[in-house]
Structure 1
Amino acid sequence: PDLRFCRRDFGTVINADASSPQGIERAIKLKLSERAFPEIEGTKAFVVDTSRVYEAMPIFNPYRKGRLFVLFRHPVERAVSKYHYIKIATWEKNYKPELKDMTMMEYAQSRHCYNNWMTRRLVHKMTPGSELTRDDLDLAKEILRRKALVLFTDDMAGSAERLRQYFFWSDEALELNAEQKTCLQTHIYLEPMNVNPHPSLDSKSPEWAAIRE
């Protein structure tokens, strides 16, 4: 189908899925960056949500350039969250029912646990078994330093404000209006989206150390 917009409670989205190679290829083929959606106010800028940064680059062009921002979560906390999520998320492509009978330690020592995922993605070493070096880590850090706006999930309010200023989504000299403040308060604190409550993991536990390693 052609590109279309869909209104949701949290805003407006375009039916282009950039989380998979097939979705990215479709967005490129349908020339997402060259499209205008007059039905949506302020469509000069839009957000492409993807972990496949390099594959998604052709979505943009010299006349509609992309600006990269990355929202970081503590890597161990992210791995723990993944453990609790993918064993129940029957609706996800990466659903792993075998994790239901796996302890946290078994998960930490399995192929399902993250292995320097962000560094591998940034330096093109996603092939299982490929060795990472200190140079790879330094390169990944340099890419982020030079190319990305770095944000953190443990400061969502601050991250939202930095995004607002970075992308000029509103005048820096103006404070948020009442509707904008309510939106942030609701989606960051009161009813956060995409949240899967689960027990926390003690940072001094053997499981934490195993995941960290």
Structure 2
Amino acid sequence: MTKGTDVSDKKINGKLKMALELGPVVLFFAAYVKLKDQVFTIGGADYDGFILATAGFVPLMILSTLALWKLTGKLSKMQIVTLVLVVVFGGLSVWFNDDRFFKMKPTLIYLLFGGVLGIGLLRGQSYLKFAMEEMLPLEQEGWMILTRRLCGFFLALAVLNEAIWRTQTTEIWVYFKTFGLSAAVFLFFMTQGSIFQTYGLDEEEG
């Protein structure tokens, strides 16, 4: 390794990385399940369990993201954007005692990511390649196909989140947000195996 290697080359234990990325979400879900049927009076205002769980989730998300940055030396644009939206919309939900702000957050995240990928596609480029090229070495055509599919997938998730939070109970939305969205993303990439087989680059080519 050369003397000029920067902090972006820092490695982190995979289990610790997963704990930092998923920990705040798991703790939010646990807090909501424990507090969902309770109402707390603070400063003369009544707050339900969802708002209190959100109030705890925001600082946890900040701390976990800062820890990831400290340990790895870098953050992806997706992590930064997600943190900003969590702080802004989570903060608005707590400040105005209105859970709608926090429930809209996934919609805006997926619209933003889908929109950015869509703009790149209109310009004949794959912005996904710029973000994930080191992790997924693919031929250019493979990147374009994957980007088109992921763009449509993100936009579909945005619509789905809006439909769920506007028509279902808070409890159903929490389960959907915690498990449904994560499972959907996992299944999406699991079903893209044909792209990686057809357009994947060997290590020598990459």
**Same fold (TM > 0.5):** no
Give the TM-score, by structure 1 length.
Answer: 0.26
Normalized per residue, which structure has more helix?
Answer: 2
Normalized per residue, which structure has more strand?
Answer: 1
